[in-house]
Structure 1
Amino acid sequence: MGMAEASFRQLAAFVAVAREESFSAAADELRYGQATVSQQVAALEKHIGARLFERPGGPKSISLTPLGRVLLPQAQHILEHVTNVELDIRDVASGAAGRIKIGTFQSVAVHLLPAAVHALRMKSPQVTFSLFEGPSSEGLIDLLLDDELDATFIEGTSSDPRLDVTKLGTDPYLLLIGPDSELLELVHEDSLPITALDGVDLIGQPALTYQDDVDAFLRSNGITPRYLFRTVDNGAVQAMVRSGVGPAIMPRLAIDMQDADITTVSLSPNIDPRVISLVVRHDDAAIPAATAFAAAAREAARAVLTSGR
């Protein structure tokens, strides 16, 4: 037998008696009966194989033996450590702490994610984050299901029963026109007829992004898309437009709307806005901090996106 057999309650009783120098006072502190405290200390002494207290009897206070004085700081450290572990577990279980692995894509990472992170940190400052930017919503969902992510933003929605999907809102598409483009003469009431893009060289993104929806929309209106330049970098797309290389169709969230050299207009008819959602694993598979982050993302989306309701 030895310390390995000592229990948390035995150590707590020992520390309380040492602090109060009295079994009865320790019992009051711990809200145990005095007999229970005496039994816990006696059991601890039995495990160790030696007395921890001098018990003189009468009015004299009890005192620690030399072995008791050695054990006391170690017992206090163990109790403090166990208490901290319990608090950490409680915080993680409630969503007040923990590390969240978040999947995202470029425009959300720039314009929506910072507000969501800030909102959660204001309520739960112990929560930390790691970020993964994925090329496609399908790939991000796969990472979520493989437990590589705790939550992810996606374009569109998902009907997978293993997932909880929150529609955050919609993001309208706009046409970006450079400062010297002839297309500016065709703009009427902040709108450009889609037919004006027939035969125009465009700037765009590669497949696997929102570009697939843009291309399908153009083809459905009898326009074969032609691209001079493709890049996944939203800023590079906008820079090409600004330099007069060609126009681009982008979701509003992907655009720097403060760029004075760019004119943004809607198309007529216009492409349906993209849906932006946040996804976590269903029910108990989602960590509490991820659920708390979903609530923060909904709050942030109200200021950034068109209402999803």
Structure 2
Amino acid sequence: MSWIARAASPNGLRVFEAAARHLSFTAAARELRSTQSAVSQQVRALEEQLGLVLFERIYRGVKLTEAGHALFVSVQEGFATIDRTIERLQHKQRHPHVNILTDFSFAAYWLMPRLPRFRERHPHIDVRIVTNQGVLDWRAQEVDVAIVFCDERALAGGVPLLLREEVFPVCSPGFLQRHGPIVDLEGLRRAPLLTLTADQGQRWLDWPSYFEQLGGIAYLEASELTFNNYTLLIQAAIAGQGIAMGWRGLVDDLLESDMLIGLHELSLSSRRGYGLVDARPDATGEAKRALQAWVLEGAAQGPGESGQG
């Protein structure tokens, strides 16, 4: 910062800005709750500090010189920047925000039904949800918390477990009436199966690994529809177009409302599951702490408790 910039007092610049905006020392004094003579003295002092003539005194007023006009534009821009910064900081203090990264299915079937309760409890916290169906890399995005599908190594490394992976076939009541009963793997593999692709490296269970791990039998690849979006796959199952793989914790509300029926006798569990990752461990704040506590609390609740605060 130059010596000249330091010599220009903030109060002198404020008085100058008001006088230049009104082109009147009297109107500036009225706005600043001062006197015309005080404003004139402040402006003259600023001109002496800067070694510049900022105003031409004319009959019944003043007008800006070329130097005065240039300074007026810069001062207005500077004050506007300060005002915007103060407003942004005050808004951030009044409304802290937290950014969550998760996949489409967890956002749609676990997070969104519960989120109104979080907002009731913390109305001053702004929540921003970022979704992606592929492998979620929270390091490459500006997020505070990531809820991601983790393998056993990540969970063993200290990532808090929210939902252990437990899957079972689900279908609509109408589909089961037409194609049922389905009581074993042999009947299941001959039914139309809805497939969720894992072509981006996702590690969740798919039909081939499900059949292999549960019964050691071959998968017939009898799928009629394949999706890369779990939300669309579940909508197809609700519409009676086939059997989907349902994840415990994600489809619970749909089972409770009888939109889907779960074939629980054919369930399979793994050591994987959804974990809660602190994407910015060095950053602390009320919003992130509140969200982390709320997510862990929600994960500890059983099915049918998603409406609880």
**How far 1:109 sits from its partner (Å)?**
2.2
Residue 127 (structure 2) pairs with residue 134 (structure 1) = no
Bigger Cα displacement from structure 2, 13-22 vs 169-178: 13-22
Could you say which residue in structure 2 is the equivalent of 1:11? 13
Deviation at 1:154, TM superposition (A): 0.5
Contact 2:152 2:272 in 1 (8 A): no
The corresponding residue for 1:203 is: 194
Structure 2 residue aligned with 1:105 = 103
Q: Is the 8 A contact 1:116 1:293 kept in 2?
A: no
Mapped to 2, the partners of 1:123 and 1:273 lie a distance apart of: 37
Task: Provide the residue aligned with 1:58 in structure 2.
Answer: none
Tell me if the contact between 1:103 and 1:134 (Cα under 8 Å) persists in the aligned partners.
Answer: no
One-letter code aligned to 1:279: V
Structure 1 residues 124, 10: CA separation in 2 closer, same or farther (over 3 Å shift)?
Answer: farther
Of residues 228, 231, 250, the one that matches 1:232 is 228
Cα pair distance change 1:283/1:148, threshold 3 Å: closer
Aligned-residue offset at 1:103: 3.1
| Residue 105 of structure 1, CA deviation | 1.5
Structure 2 CA distance for aligned equivalents of residues 279 and 145 of structure 1: 11
Q: 2: distance between equivalents of 1:169 and 1:4?
A: 59
| Residue 251 of structure 1: aligned partner | 247
Deviations 1:125-163 (A, max 9, x none): 5x6x4634132xxx312xx22246554320126877xx9
CA distance in 1 between partners of 2:160 and 2:11 (Å): 45
- Name the aligned partner's letter for residue 11 of structure 1: L
Unaligned runs of 5+ in 1: 27-37, 55-63, 187-195
Gaps of 5+ in 2: 19-27, 303-309
The residue number in structure 1 matching 2:45 is: 42
SS at match of 2:255: coil
1:174 counterpart letter in structure 2: F
Distance 1:77 1:267 in 2: 69
Residue number in structure 2 paired with 1:31: none
2:216 corresponds in structure 1 to: 223
Counterpart Cα distance in 2 of 1:164 and 1:13: 59
- Change in Cα spacing, 1:47 to 1:155, as seen in structure 2 (3 Å) is same
Partner of 2:287: 292
What is the SS of the residue equivalent to 1:282? coil
* Aligned position for 1:146: 140
Question: What CA RMSD, in Å, does the superposition of the two structures yield over aligned residues?
Answer: 5.1
Answer whether contact 2:151 2:203 (CA < 8 A) is retained: no
Deviation at 1:113, TM superposition (A): 3.7
TM-score (norm 1): 0.58
Counterpart-to-counterpart distance in 2, 1:269 and 1:112 = 20
- In structure 1, C-alpha distance between the alignment counterparts of 2:207 and 2:292, rounded to whole Å: 26
User: Quick check: 1:103–1:152 contact (8 Å CA) kept in 2?
Assistant: yes
Paired position in structure 2 for 1:82? 82
Q: Find the residue that maps to 2:176 and give its secondary structure.
A: coil
Deviation at 1:239, TM superposition (A): 2.9
Shift of 1:76: 6.7
Q: Secondary structure at the match of 1:219?
A: helix
Q: Is the 8 A contact 1:206 1:231 kept in 2?
A: yes
Aligned to 1:189: none
TM-score, normalization: structure 2?
Answer: 0.58
SS in 2 for 1:267: helix
Deviation at 1:107, TM superposition (A): 1.5
Q: Secondary structure at the match of 1:212?
A: coil
For the 8 Å contact 1:205–1:232, the answer to whether it is kept is: yes
Length, aligned pairs only: 263
Q: Which residue among 209, 212, 220 is the counterpart of 2:205?
A: 212
